[in-house]
Amino acid sequence: MTQQFDDAIVGAGIMGLAHAYALAKRGRRVIVFERNAQAMGASVRNFGMLWPVGQPAGVPFQTALQSRAIWLRLLDESGLWHERTGSLHLAYHELEAAVLREFIAEAPHTGYECVWLDAAQITEQSPVINPKKLLGGLWSSTEICIDPREVVAGLPTWLHKAYGVQFQFNSAVINYYHPIVWAGGQQWRTDHLYVCSGEDFQTLYPEAFAASGLYRVKLQMMRSQPFGDTLRIGPMLAAGLTLCHYKNFQDCPSLPALRERFENEMPDYVRYGIHIMASQHARGEITIGDSHEYNASISPFDKEEINDLILAYLSTFLMIPNLQILQRWNGVYAAHTDELCWTNRPAPGATIIASPSGRGMTMSFGIAERIVAANLGEH
């Protein structure tokens, strides 16, 4: 007999899991289909940075805070490892310090919880930060570190136990004609299909994706050996290059001059969209990245030149003796130039929710809450 669900979800990445949670906690019967034995996309390949401070003021930042509140609830309930580390943006040049100070000056109006710390205060928080020529930095309290590999592997079990969500792994959804879903050679009945297929634009509704304006972005990443408790970086870290990457800094008057400086002095970093961030997980492994290559430039083969550039810049602000890189990988996400999160209704009962570019871990639960509330006519 064909099994019946209220909602079916395509993809067990963080967007699929967030929609499963938002629906199941409303008492709905939910099934999640994942084509692999476990999710292997962007959601397990990232830094695990829940990073509200990187979102532009207004709806994106408010959605990030809403997402953060939901994350904290479910991380506490599920017992999955996380740390409220906060974050530091470090300034080693006057222009970097100027951008950060301009951002902080607007914080009373924009709502960010951030302050300027001088060099001594920063090295007190994180003794592994290079004090030489350090001018200071922006401390923000809202960021949370998770381990994406553990969270994305652990949440299905918890969602099943706590809310009865059913998971069907090794099952690619190949068609939906309301109310029937075809996946893994079987059929199911469902009123709604939420398509959270990440960077797969081809399997379901390719014509909707083709008209969407979505594009693909590849990032190179690395992970160090585990340091246990012998070396902790403290807050999650970013430095000057990041100021040109996140849109939260876009209105700072000194940003164009900083961007010009990087274009003149560090063209390789600009060419590969490199900015350096670091997070540290339960066993002390440090996740380091990243670079940005787009669409036709995306190749399955990583560039060692990019990894060298990343490690060279990292060593300017992080002093880690005997840093060994144990893992290197890349990840690809879907992005949209204008939309916080591109959505579409390609057929009766079906909603596509694209990855919200490089901020999906941060935004997922806030976005899912808003989409599910709207779909169920709650406001």
Ligand X SMILES: Cc1cc2nc3c(=O)[nH]c(=O)nc-3n(C[C@H](O)[C@H](O)[C@H](O)COP(=O)(O)OP(=O)(O)OC[C@H]3O[C@@H](n4cnc5c(N)ncnc54)[C@H](O)[C@@H]3O)c2cc1C
Interface ranges with ligand X (CB under 6 A): 10-16, 33-36, 39-43, 45-49, 51, 172-173, 196-200, 203-204, 219, 221, 289-290, 331, 333, 355-356, 358-362
d(CA 50, CA 65): 10
Strand order, beta sheet including 82-83: 49-50, 144-146, 82-83
Token pair 């990445």 in the structure block, residue: 13
d(CA 379, CA 372): 10
- Tell the smallest beta-carbon distance from residue 357 to ligand X (Å): 6
- Tell the smallest beta-carbon distance from residue 65 to ligand X (Å): 13
Residue 75 or residue 97: which is nearer to ligand X going by CB?
Answer: 75
Residue 254 or residue 362: which is nearer to ligand X going by CB?
Answer: 362
Residue 89 or residue 254: which is nearer to ligand X going by CB?
Answer: 89
- Tell the smallest beta-carbon distance from residue 256 to ligand X (Å): 26
Judge contact between 235 and 279, C-beta under 8 A: no
Residue 135 or residue 372: which is nearer to ligand X going by CB?
Answer: 372
The DSSP string of 322-362 is T--EEEEEEEEEEE-SS-SS-EEEEETTEEEE---GGGHHH
- Tell the smallest beta-carbon distance from residue 40 to ligand X (Å): 6
Residue 34 or residue 96: which is nearer to ligand X going by CB?
Answer: 34
Residue 28 or residue 223: which is nearer to ligand X going by CB?
Answer: 223
Residue 96 or residue 293: which is nearer to ligand X going by CB?
Answer: 293
- Scored b (16 or more CB within 10 A) or e, 28-38 reads bbbbbbbbeee
Give the burial class of 232: count Cβ atoms within 10 A of its Cβ; 0-12 exposed, 13-18 middle, 19 or more buried: middle
Give 123-126 contacts, CB < 8 A, sequence gap 24+.
125/88, 125/234, 125/235, 126/88, 126/233, 126/234, 126/235, 126/237
- Tell the smallest beta-carbon distance from residue 305 to ligand X (Å): 18
Report helix, strand or coil for 305. helix
- Tell the smallest beta-carbon distance from residue 15 to ligand X (Å): 3
- Tell the smallest beta-carbon distance from residue 211 to ligand X (Å): 18
Residue 138 or residue 352: which is nearer to ligand X going by CB?
Answer: 352
Closest C-alpha to 275, from 234, 316, 226, 321: 316
d(CA 284, CA 236): 12
Residue 95 or residue 112: which is nearer to ligand X going by CB?
Answer: 112
- Scored b (16 or more CB within 10 A) or e, 52-70 reads bbbbbbeebbebbbbbbeb
- Tell the smallest beta-carbon distance from residue 118 to ligand X (Å): 27
- Tell the smallest beta-carbon distance from residue 334 to ligand X (Å): 7
Closest C-alpha to 307, from 264, 266, 331, 274: 274
Residue 39 or residue 310: which is nearer to ligand X going by CB?
Answer: 39
In angstroms, the Cα distances linking 236 to 85, 124, 143, 184, 364 are 6, 14, 8, 40, 20
- Tell the smallest beta-carbon distance from residue 238 to ligand X (Å): 11
The DSSP string of 206-268 is HHHHHTTT-EEEEEEEEEE---TTS----SEEE-GGGGGTSGGGTT-TTHHHHHHHHHHH-HH
